[in-house]
Amino acid sequence: MKSLARRTVTFVQYAIIDTEWGAFGYVVRDGRLVATFLPASRTAIKRAIKQRWPDAVETSNLLPRFRKQVTDYFAGKSVKFTVDLDISDLPTFRQSVLKQCRRIPCGKTASYADLARAVGNPGAVRAVGGAMANNPLPLVIPCHRVLRSDGSLGGFSTPQGVKQKKRMLRLEDAPAVLP
């Protein structure tokens, strides 16, 4: 007699909301945030979500407190994101870097080298950069607050690139932002 393997069922939902900067998307798995999509077109965000999570269900009032925090942020209000995250499917090193990055407060910046030291691996500056470039939760894990050691902006893996990073830092009144 064949034994049926137990299959774990996960419930993936997403929402796309309007902010003062445009549409913002987010994905929730089993009640925890797994991905965010910075302002872009609704079509582009929905396409990216459906490509990764084809069975995700759009849910209009998903995580209402988080939804308010996002709209407040893009309206220029000071926000501390209090949502539960799920980054458990990422490699251990990347998880530790993202957890350290999440500790950078609004209006402050850190360098890639600062994060490498914070995770106990000062020689891993490039690996930290890779973790930032592949951050599944931009805004909530504020990779836009991470700069090069010389204070320059470095990169930003969004369609608007460094321009959006600079705009976000200006919104937060971060002191290291160049004109």
Q: Is 32 helix (H, G, I), strand (E, B) or coil?
A: strand
106 catalytic, yes or no? Answer: no
- Report residue 122: phi and psi, to 5°: -60, -20
Of these residues, 143, 146, 171, 174, which one is catalytic? 143
* β-pair partners for 25: 16, 37
Closest alpha carbon to 141 in 33, 4, 7: 33
Question: Helix, strand, coil: what percent of the chain each, to 5?
Answer: 35, 20, 45
* Residues annotated catalytic, as ranges: 143
